[in-house]
Amino acid sequence: MKRKAKFVAAAVCGLLCLVAARADAGSPLFGIHTEQDWLEALDPANPRIVPVEASEFERMILEDPQWPQEYRDATFFTPTLEVVPDFDGEAGLYMSWGQSDGVEERRAAAWDYVYPQDPNLNGMTIDFSIFPPVPSTLLSLNLIDANGNYREWIWHAGGAGEVPAGQWSTLSINPATGASNWPTFGGSPFIHNVPGFSFDLSSIQILRFNENIWSAPGFPAGPMGNVPDGWVWNAWNHVEVSPEPGTLIVWSALIGLGLGFGWWRGRR
């Protein structure tokens, strides 16, 4: 029994060593969960989260016909980003955008998480929690590499079997296979390649989160109260990149076996 306990301890030690080794300055591993995490990510002195200019997001969509028509017909805005300490029990990021012009239409905006280096997302899982305020919200995630290529996931909120509206939901993707725990929308995930380059999951520089919501009178109040007529909002309460379970199991088992064998040799 003692040998088994020591072997398990060695495996756990190996797993912790692996995670620690991957969590250095150049690692893709990160997590944003608390109010302080969000505030630090938005720190103007060293921002990791930045709003995407409306013209940049519009150009990204109009240059690729794979985007659904709901995005291609939208009006684009540079959003306002704020941190909320508690919204429906969660701290998170609040994004609002729009204009008070009396027009009812789809309005889209985006924000980026910018990596300090070029991490490799092979063998990783990306999770984030989101609060779509109304049905028929479209939400998407782009992984953008060093050459400007990207892989795109789009989800629709509010329909049967889709991401629920008016509550928090956690979405999870496998960047390599395209798998998602919620059904995707409009032919996604798809890959956009700049001529002369192929999408490179080993050099992802940006995680781009975006929303596309119909602006209509009586839009529900958000974390900061009512928005002006013609404005919309959305919220996120965590974003995390971590090793996929299979990767952790294999590496921890190998390291644990190595440590366990070393201990056994020492006993001999």
For residue 135, give both structure tokens. Answer: 């049905």
Mean pLDDT (10-residue bins), the chain, 268 residues: 50 43 59 97 96 98 97 98 95 97 96 90 96 97 97 97 97 97 96 96 97 94 94 96 66 42 48
Domain ranges of the chain: 25-257
Give the DSSP H/E element, type plus range, for residue 152: strand 150-156
Nearest to 136 by CA among 111, 155, 110: 155
Question: Exposure string (b/e) for 133-146, b if CB count within 10 Å is 16 or more?
Answer: bbebbbbbbbbbbe
Residue 159 pLDDT: 94
Residue 244 pLDDT: 85
CA distances to 144, 248, 262 from 242, in Å = 18, 9, 29
CB 154 within 8 A of CB 184: yes
Provide CATH code, domain 25-257: 2.60.120.260
